[in-house]
Amino acid sequence: MKLDEVKLTEFLMLPADEAKAIIATLKQAEKTNDIEALKWGARRIVWLDDASEIGSGDDEFYPERLFNIAWAKEIESDPPPESISTTIAKIGQDKPEAV
């Protein structure tokens, strides 16, 4: 999570019921190694992304420092596959730091 100069960050506002259901199916598909279900879930998340909006808010519920620590631990313990590592490494790099 990266906050801007007024201490706000951008959030992807997905429809909650649909997103939760898709995430649940992705978890199930991962456990059973169901590649077709994983692909389907990925397509649905991409579609929801196309239909969603970006909202902004502060880090009141998940402070930036705690999120970033947890994210770094997750990436360290479960690094992305080589095929997507460059994309993941660019997270948070698309905006210049506030002066």
* Number of other CB atoms surrounding residue 1 within 10 Å: 17
Residue appearing with tokens 């906050």: 3
Query: DSSP of 44-78, one letter per residue?
Result: HHHHHHHH-EEEEE-SSSS-HHHHHHHHHHHHHHS
Quote the percentage of the chain above a pLDDT of 90.
36
Q: How far from chain centre, in Å, is Cα 3?
A: 15
Name the band, by pLDDT with cuts 50, 70 and 90, for residue 93.
confident
The answer to whether residues 37 and 24 touch, using CB atoms and an 8 Å cutoff, is: no
Model confidence pLDDT, tens digit, residues 66-84? 888 988 899 899 888 898 8
